[in-house]
Structure 1
Amino acid sequence: MSKFTNKKSNELPAVNTASLPDIVFMLLFFFMVVTVLRDDNLLVQNKLPKADQVEKLKKDRSVYIYAGKPSSRYVDKYGAEPKIQIGDKYTDITNIKFALTEARQKLLPELQDKVMVALKVDEKTNTGMVTDIKQELRDLNMLKIIYITTPGNEITN
């Protein structure tokens, strides 16, 4: 008779890494899809006032207008007077119609008539600038205006 020998050792087998590249690429694609990139480079100071009734805004049909003093890294270049920012550039109150028309054209065609203007105005900006912006919006027939604020109550804080 022949002798049976046990050729197996008591060592653990090596970990199979054949599916590791698939997992890495799947995670890479997942994070690429869910990551939100910043749309605008903020050129103005933007400490928003507080409000107690805050609601989320859908970004697919909105145009953002920022107003306030230039941020500290742009004060030397543009001065300390309050500025209006649409997109990534400053605009003057006389050029706001052109800038808003250009921003409206970037939206989907079916949403261009239903556009909402979101005002992100620094809390120390004077109301005269806001009134001028609102007058230009009336001239363009962009009457849906939303004021962006931060959650909270200014009286109790």
Structure 2
Amino acid sequence: MYCAVLAAVLTLSSLLVHPAAWASPDWAWPVSPRPAVSRHFEAPAQKWLPGHRGVDLHAPPGTPVRAPQDGVVSFVGVVVDREVLTVDHGDGHKSSFEPVSATVRVGDRVSRGQVIARVASRGHGPGGDAVHWGVRENGEYVNPLRFVADLRPSVLLPVPEHGGS
């Protein structure tokens, strides 16, 4: 009986969680090995308010930055005071990285895992040892980690009591 109830709960809960809430098998971490996240995504309360529209991945200057998914390079250029690289992955998804020194040009097709840049000599963040990764989905910034990590909350289920003496 317990197994049937557990199976029903797991089946129903999987239907309630939007599929984009967990990692996609098509995406890979842009820094290898899997980096520490030095600053997480912070969605602004309104589009025009402050927030952190991406994640900062620990990556010292010179670290290779890889395409997290196949795509076409749509932008390489300086924004304010740092080089930014954007890859259009199709289906409304674009990844951007900063500060980087690009090894690809606008119009280049890139493959998942291909080196597309190196973290610039003065990296991102207070210690200068990170790369900022932002992802837009249909023009809106979303948490990049949802494409490479399972962000669903952990659910602890009760342990059935065993009949004993």
TM-score by length of 2: 0.29
Greater fraction strand:
2
TM-score by length of 1: 0.30
Structure with larger Rg: 1
